[in-house]
Amino acid sequence: MTATRSPSIPEQFNAAQYFVDRNLDEGRGGKVAVLCDERELTYGEVAELVNRAANALGQAGVERLDRVLLLLADSPAFVAAFWGAIKLGAVPIPTNTLLTSDDYEFLLRDSGARCLVVDSILLGKAEPALARLATGQKRWGDLETVYVAGHALGNERLSENQRHSERGYKSFEQEMAGSSPKAPAVLTRRSDPAFWLYTSGSTGRPKAAIHRHHDMLCCLEYYARQVLGISPNDRTFSTSKLFFAYGLGNGLYFPFGVGASTVLLAERPTPERVFEVIERHQPTLFFAVPAVYAAVLHAPHQPLHGFNSVRCAVSAGEALPAPLWELFRKRFGIAILDGIGSTEMLHMFISNRIDDIVAGSSGKLVPGYGARVVDEQGSELPDGQLGELQIRGESQAAGYWNRPELTRATFRGEWTVTGDKYIRDERGYFWYCGRTDDMMKVSGLWVSPLEVETALLAHPAVMECAVVGVIDSDGLTKPKAFVVLKDTGGDQAEIEAELDKFMRSRLPAYKVPRSIVMTESLPRTATGKIQRFRLREAH
């Protein structure tokens, strides 16, 4: 598909200069860029923080293409460190803040990061990893500098700063305060590495997708402008965090790309906090994953006009079931735009539109992207047939760091293998049918977990559910459902029988789960995706 508008990106291009400095050049220095709790930062103040961060990193010996691991909550420190590293020509790596110290040790070793910027509230989880990095005379192996962010500079925290200094850490705020507020952007090319994002893979060690300086501008132009219609008048609020590819666009480079404002929430987005933030800051664009929409819907206390300021709500991360979409529309009067993107493509490549929504579908191709549905031999299938989705577009990652085999398997020329099963109908709408490794073949027929889950969610007693394939005594795959009920009272055997009857009235017999397990919650990744492999392991 050909885009109606294509971004014009010069060969010499530094993303920080475009997304930060350009706002000053265009007269938005006094406009609010970031709102975070009680704090507001203008674009002028952000630009100064970014420059100070770039200079502080440079003084620590960080050079062009050096990796800087960011273990930070959504905050002004994240904004400064991310853009500051890019302006310096270095490569920031936003990192999942919910991982273990073993994970952080792996990421530090795998990335070869020269510098770590860690939030003070996360230092306790990072320190065991730092201790294990020690080699010979090197305190942290190849890692040379550890900045601790988020602690105050006043006398009341002086002792904490002293302890950090004794351990060899530096205060990120203090180092920035002592650095120049001016910094030129390093000359980089649009195809140079700008940042990495580690995938939140459901199994195995994560892998880093290498994104280039021009990738964010492509996503801004093709999706944020042409699908969402984002403008300087918008105010974004993303419950998905900045370390997540989806959240990085929603909460940082989309608003910065047009001179809009972003609302950042450092802590977990509980329904109560979501409603508080919306009431206080009145965002116009709201981004979440299906689990957050479900939690908001089932919150015991909901403001009467909870989403009145929101002109557009977006869902991604996993498919949004049609019953959940309908419930949210009825309760809050908002038709959620569901779509699909990936870490490898950076953001959305298929999406519903504000004036063109088909509930339960992922929508149509985003301008600037191409798609094909292929069979197991890689041959393109006609509309209406189930196959694996492959995507092409300018925001495609350059590959995975230090993973040549996976790079070859995923990036096949201009096409990126998504690992998602899809059907494209004759009208051009794409229908998600599950991950390639989540699909089940029952009695020789493909069964989509999403289809069974959608049927289950239509029952008024079901709040959440997940369906996986399990192997029976004959070695055959059968669907099994894990269900979270809205009301845990009542006889479970009666409820199971009722659900079985309910599904048999809506699904072919081979798609009906052979067993149902009632559970208090479903295992999820930090980005809200159901960890189906854990459910399969629990069998």
CATH number of the structural domain spanning residue 462: 3.30.300.30
What distances in angstroms separate CA 153 from CA 31, 84, 158, 173, 177, one per listed residue? 26, 21, 7, 8, 10
CB atoms within 10 A of CB 12: 13
Please indicate, yes or no, whether residues 127 and 78 belong to a single structural domain of this protein: yes
Please indicate, yes or no, whether residues 265 and 221 belong to a single structural domain of this protein: yes
Residues of the domain holding 526: 440-537
Spatial distance between the Cα atoms of 249 and 462, rounded to a whole number of angstroms: 32
3-state secondary structure of 446: strand
pLDDT of residue 419: 92
Put residue 75 in one of left, alpha, beta given phi > 0 → left and psi -120 to 50 → alpha: beta
Identify any residues that bridge with 279 across adjacent strands, giving them in sequence order. none
pTM for the structure as a whole: 0.88
Query: Is 142 among the domain residues?
Result: yes
Q: Map 257-311 to HEC letters.
A: HHCCEEEECCCCCCHHHHHHHHHHHCCCEEEECHHHHHHHHCCCCCCCCCCCCCC
The two structure tokens encoding residue 528: 């809200």
Please indicate, yes or no, whether residues 276 and 417 belong to a single structural domain of this protein: yes
Amino acid at 256: F
pLDDT of residue 372: 98
* Residue that terminates a domain, selected from 408, 435, 462: 435
* Residue that terminates a domain, selected from 169, 198, 227: 198
CATH number of the structural domain spanning residue 347: 3.40.50.12780
DSSP secondary structure, 460-526, as one string: TTEEEEEEEEEE-TTS-EEEEEEEEES---S-HHHHHHHHHHHHHTTS-GGGS-SEEEE-S---B-T
Please indicate, yes or no, whether residues 194 and 63 belong to a single structural domain of this protein: yes
The total domain count for the chain is 3
Please indicate, yes or no, whether residues 136 and 283 belong to a single structural domain of this protein: no
pLDDT of residue 203: 43
Spatial distance between the Cα atoms of 30 and 518, rounded to a whole number of angstroms: 54
Residues contacting 146, CB < 8 A, separation 6+: 115, 116, 118, 130, 140, 168, 169, 170
DSSP secondary structure, 148-197, as one string: EES---SGGGHHHHHHHHHTT-EEHHHHHHTS-S--PPP--BTTSEEEEE
pLDDT of residue 475: 78
Query: Is 299 among the domain residues?
Result: yes
Query: Is 7 among the domain residues?
Result: no
User: To which residue do tokens 């969402």 refer?
Assistant: 228
Query: Is 94 among the domain residues?
Result: yes
3-state DSSP: the chain helix, strand, coil percent, rounded to 5? 30, 25, 40
Please indicate, yes or no, whether residues 27 and 157 belong to a single structural domain of this protein: yes
Spatial distance between the Cα atoms of 55 and 431, rounded to a whole number of angstroms: 48
pLDDT of residue 139: 87
Spatial distance between the Cα atoms of 416 and 412, rounded to a whole number of angstroms: 6
For residue 532, report the phi and psi dihedrals to the nearest 5 degrees.
-65, -30
Query: Is 1 among the domain residues?
Result: no
Please indicate, yes or no, whether residues 175 and 254 belong to a single structural domain of this protein: no
Contact status, residue 445 vs residue 510, Cβ threshold 8 Å: yes
Contact status, residue 502 vs residue 462, Cβ threshold 8 Å: no
Residues contacting 356, CB < 8 A, separation 6+: 363, 364
Please indicate, yes or no, whether residues 324 and 225 belong to a single structural domain of this protein: yes
Please indicate, yes or no, whether residues 350 and 226 belong to a single structural domain of this protein: yes
Query: Is 205 among the domain residues?
Result: no
**CA–CA–CA angle 132, 134, 138 (5° rounding):** 165
Query: Is 524 among the domain residues?
Result: yes
What distances in angstroms separate CA 462 from CA 60, 294, 342, 360, one per listed residue? 54, 11, 29, 18
Please indicate, yes or no, whether residues 250 and 336 belong to a single structural domain of this protein: yes
H or E, element range at 415: strand 415-424
* Residue that terminates a domain, selected from 157, 174, 198: 198
Of residues 11, 19, 21, the one with CA closest to residue 184: 21
pLDDT of residue 439: 82
Put residue 61 in one of left, alpha, beta given phi > 0 → left and psi -120 to 50 → alpha: left
Please indicate, yes or no, whether residues 220 and 270 belong to a single structural domain of this protein: yes
Query: Is 462 among the domain residues?
Result: yes
**CA–CA–CA angle 172, 67, 210 (5° rounding):** 130
Mean pLDDT by 10 residues, the chain (539 residues): 66 98 98 95 98 98 98 98 98 93 94 97 95 88 94 47 75 97 97 93 74 98 98 97 96 98 96 96 96 90 89 93 93 96 97 97 98 95 97 98 95 95 97 85 83 93 94 85 89 92 90 94 85 84
327-339 in b/e burial notation, b at 16+ Cβ within 10 A? Answer: bbeeebebbbbbb
Question: How would you class 159 by CB atoms within 10 Å of its CB: exposed for 0-12, middle for 13-18, buried for 19 or more?
Answer: exposed
Spatial distance between the Cα atoms of 384 and 423, rounded to a whole number of angstroms: 6
Please indicate, yes or no, whether residues 64 and 187 belong to a single structural domain of this protein: yes
Residues contacting 87, CB < 8 A, separation 6+: 14, 16, 17, 20, 50, 51, 54, 183, 185, 186
The two structure tokens encoding residue 316: 């991604």
Amino acid at 434: G
